[in-house]
Structure 1
Amino acid sequence: MKKWVLFSFLSAGILALLGAPDIGRAFHKLWLASQTLGKPKQANAFRDLHTWLPDRGLRGLYGNLRGHLSYQDLEKLIEIKIFLKGPHTDGKLNLTSNQFGHYNPAFPRWLKQNAIPGRSNPKLRALYQPIYDLSFRRMARTYYLAHRHLHSDPMRLKKIHNDYIGRVKNEEATGQFLGDAFRAFADQMENNGYDWYEANTAPGFWLRRSIDGTDNEFHAGLVALLETHDAAFLKQHR
């Protein structure tokens, strides 16, 4: 029997014993589906997400998992509007706009409480640890270090913040601007064994969160994930 089949069988049994509700089952399925991340994909399957790297970054992650729980389905499940403002309306993601989505602060708070099944359950923590190591560890560490980098120099952050806001107001493209702003950080991260693309785009995510007011909420959720599955790394880099 293949390892992933055996793993799925055992985990389903454990989940049944725990009597998980619908939300718990949905995120359990997402964690199991995450075992396929990094396997070969057809690039055109991600064309609507405007990414050519289906095994990297947040868009790649969403593209791999949306077949199990889409943006629209997630909103219905949790009964919370994910975005309060921006181009992502009517259950659709608009990833070509020069504007950006302003998250509802309730969403990252909800994720912290519900999307990390092993946080308060040692059995599930042990069950999901191999999946975290395989599919989430690199990205989680990258985003944690990117947040620390972005906030390490308040004057630099303020300048990038103001320049970015100006470009958004003028409907100017922001991708190249952010890529150039964080190129040195990405180069340094790549030298330390991280993925250059994820390191180049992660600070931009945190910049937008500092603008929409959800920086603290998303960071708290990321810290909770690291506390659960990557405590040694977190202790080293705090």
Structure 2
Amino acid sequence: MYCEKEISYHKIYCKIQTILSFKKLSEYLGIQIYESGPHSKYYLELNSRTEFGHYNPEFPLKLREFLLPAKTNPSLYKITLPIYESLVRNTAREFFIVYQKLDSNPRFFRKEADRYLLLVEEDRLDPYYLDRFILFLYPAFTDNEDPEESSRFVYRKGDETIDAQVVKELVGFWIRRKSDGTDTEFILGLVDLLKLYDPEFYQNRTAQIVN
């Protein structure tokens, strides 16, 4: 199947589109999904070097409102839990793990988002730019060889086992969301999802740790 060639959240998007097109989803939610960018109402354009999709700020809000009805419907929760576990759980966890490390250094997160946006606007984004984040979840990851100048992050043992190609894609996703200003609403929606379907994972990830 074509979707199996995709990785991480791109695979989920691909499978969703076989059932519900972005045009239909937009009509269902009653809003445009993107404010600007290369994506059409029918598919995602993931290879543009000069644009990226700027989400409509209402989109993550609508997703939380319409796509998590199981929060108040035990029967629906029982039906949807196996779907979450088989299709969504691993990707949701990876999204959260990468976000946590980025968010552990807000200055770095903001700086990278601003840099990415500037490179796109000036048509200077290298197609392999995100490769610099392949080792992002490793404890030795640094953005500067000088220890005094390098950024500091919270590291959680075992995070580095996530596929490096997935990591760089997710770092790219969160950097773009920081750039278009929708990162807060997306992470709040993800937290709602994890609290509902994966509470033990969420509790373990948010327990206080010593870095």
Same fold flag (TM > 0.5): yes
Query: How big is the shift at 1:88?
Result: 2.2
1:103 aligns with 2:71: no
Q: How many residues are aligned here? A: 188
Distance of 2:65 and 2:204 partners within structure 1: 24
Task: Name stretches of at least 5 consecutive residues in structure 2 with no aligned partner.
Answer: 140-156, 207-211
1:82 aligns with 2:33: yes
Deviations 1:129-170 (A, max 9, x none): 122111111100000111111111133224322331232022
CA RMSD of aligned residues (A): 2.2
Deviations 1:15-50 (A, max 9, x none): xxxxxxxxxxxxxxxxxxxxxxxxxx2xxx35xxxx
Q: Which of 93, 108, 111 is the equivalent residue of 1:159?
A: 111
Q: Does structure 2 conserve the Cα–Cα contact (< 8 Å) formed by 1:147 and 1:206?
A: yes
Q: Does structure 2 conserve the Cα–Cα contact (< 8 Å) formed by 1:146 and 1:202?
A: yes
Query: How big is the shift at 1:61?
Result: 1.1
Distance of 1:142 and 1:100 partners within structure 2: 21
Moved more, 147-156 or 73-82: 147-156
1:71 aligns with 2:39: no
Query: How big is the shift at 1:125?
Result: 1.3
Q: Which of 168, 174, 184 is the equivalent residue of 1:216?
A: 184
Distance of 1:174 and 1:233 partners within structure 2: 36
Distance of 1:65 and 1:226 partners within structure 2: 20
Deviations 1:97-127 (A, max 9, x none): 2210110111100101111232221121122
**AA aligned opposite 2:130:** L
SS at match of 1:149: helix
Seen in structure 2, the aligned counterparts of structure 1 residues 53 and 196 have a Cα distance that, compared at 3 Å, is farther
Q: Does structure 2 conserve the Cα–Cα contact (< 8 Å) formed by 1:83 and 1:102?
A: yes
Distance of 2:163 and 2:70 partners within structure 1: 26
1:115 is aligned to: 67
Q: Which of 80, 84, 90 is the equivalent residue of 1:138?
A: 90
1:183 aligns with 2:134: yes
Q: Does structure 1 conserve the Cα–Cα contact (< 8 Å) formed by 2:114 and 2:179?
A: no
Query: How big is the shift at 1:66?
Result: 0.8
1:11 is aligned to: none
1:128 is aligned to: 80
1:22 is aligned to: none
TM-score normalised to structure 1 length = 0.71
Distance of 2:168 and 2:36 partners within structure 1: 25
SS at match of 1:184: coil
Deviations 1:46-96 (A, max 9, x none): 5xxxxx833x22221111221210111111222110011222245553333
Seen in structure 2, the aligned counterparts of structure 1 residues 192 and 120 have a Cα distance that, compared at 3 Å, is farther
Q: Does structure 1 conserve the Cα–Cα contact (< 8 Å) formed by 2:135 and 2:164?
A: no
Distance of 1:58 and 1:152 partners within structure 2: 22
Seen in structure 2, the aligned counterparts of structure 1 residues 186 and 70 have a Cα distance that, compared at 3 Å, is farther
Percent same amino acid among aligned pairs? 31
**AA aligned opposite 1:200:** K
TM-score normalised to structure 2 length = 0.79
